[in-house]
Structure 1
Amino acid sequence: MDIKLATCTYQEFMPDMGTPVRTTVGRPRFDLPYPLTAHAKLVTPTKELLGINARDAYEFSYRRLLNARGFGPVRDELLRIAGAYDLDSPLVLLCFDRYDKLTPPDDWCHRLFLAKWWAEQTGQEVPELGAPPRASAAPATLF
């Protein structure tokens, strides 16, 4: 069974986009105009990763974390979340960083690397539903 995934920020998410899923170490400290349904713990970075500011080092460490947790368990967790809500609706993996508010070389976040990793594992693109990443942060195309 395929899982439809997308990414966005808490701030830009709208309920018609899909099922909102937290992927951050902390919860939003501001009121959300929608209920936050689930937390995808296996794709959530660790607190230690949050201290890495260099893009390459962060991507390397985050991918290593995802690979250690394993594609199968990550997929299974996301399937459980999708099955508890709406299998036809995309799971929208949320975090705080708005790409249109970030400046190079810091115009990236873990959801960009998660989308690239997922596409490499499955061949399925993971669209960004918020402001698009700048060209310097855009994931490489698969073809």
Structure 2
Amino acid sequence: MSELKIATCTYQEFAPEMGTPIRTTAGGVRFPLGYQIGGHARLITPPWELVKANLAADAYEFHYRRQLNEAGPDLIRQELIAIAGAWDLDVPAVLLCFDRLDHPGQWCHRTMFARWWTEVTNEDVPELGARPRPAAPTLFEF
């Protein structure tokens, strides 16, 4: 099987030199991007019902992992290779979503996918985003 490198990031923090941008969100992008999306990874996109359920992280992950297990790593790998291979398999397939992870305790499906993928394939999935937000200037700075 072809080599596939996977990473994760937000739409907002992604830059084209990071790899092939792949949508993993139930909804489309809600703002203009400075790059073109390579494709939509439907097998790892959480369904709207799960997104709207407003569950705690552990309950959400339980349901999301069920979806991932049903698809399995081989089909997911095939889908990602089909998308990234049309672009460039020598760079990571970067799975994108909206949720920023630059504050402790924040989570999203891409972090859950990364954990699951590492557990079932023993392949690391680095997070390319989660850069600290710049501090807002205070009115009293001198």
TM-score range, shorter chain: 0.7 to 0.9
2:91 paired residue number: 89
Partners of 2:42 and 2:101 in 1: CA distance: 23
Does 2:42 match 1:41? yes
Q: Which runs of 5+ in 2 are unaligned?
A: 133-142
- Identical-residue share of aligned pairs (%): 58
Residue 30, structure 1, aligned to residue 53, structure 2: no
RMSD: 1.5
Paired with 2:71 and 2:41, the residues of 1 have a C-alpha distance of 12
Give, in angstroms, the shift of residue 132 of structure 1. 6.0
Q: How many corresponding residue pairs?
A: 130
1:109 maps to which residue?
A: 108
Please list the CA deviations of residues 77-98 of structure 1 after superposition, one character each: whole Å capped at 9, or x if unmatched: 0111121110101000000000
What is the rounded CA distance, in whole Å, between the counterparts of 2:43 and 2:131 in structure 1?
A: 24
Question: Shift of the alpha carbon at 1:121?
Answer: 1.5
Give 1:52 shift: 3.4
Q: Kindly report structure 1 stretches of 4+ aligned residues shifted beyond 3 Å.
A: none
State how far apart, in whole Å, the 1-side matches of 2:113 and 2:33 are. Answer: 23
> What is the distance in 1 between the residues matched to 2:12 and 2:84?
22
**Match in the other structure for 1:10:** 11
Determine helix, strand or coil for the equivalent of 2:48.
coil
Q: Which residue of 2 aligns with 1:120?
A: 119
Q: Deviations over 1:23-72 (max 9, x none)?
A: 00011110001111210000000011112320110010000011112222
Of the structure 1 ranges 16-25 and 77-86, higher mean CA displacement relative to structure 2 is found in: 77-86
Query: Take 2:131 and 2:64, find their aligned partners in 1: how far apart are those partners?
Result: 21
Which one-letter code corresponds to 2:16 in the other structure?
P
Contact residue 3 and residue 89 of structure 2 kept, 8 A: no
- Distance (Å, rounded) in 2 between the aligned partners of 1:5 and 1:52: 27
Give the TM-score taking structure 2 as reference length: 0.86
TM-score by length of 1: 0.86
Q: Which amino acid aligns with 2:110?
A: R
**SS of structure 2 residue aligned to 1:126:** coil
CA contact (8 A) 2:65 2:116 kept: yes
1:138 counterpart residue number: none
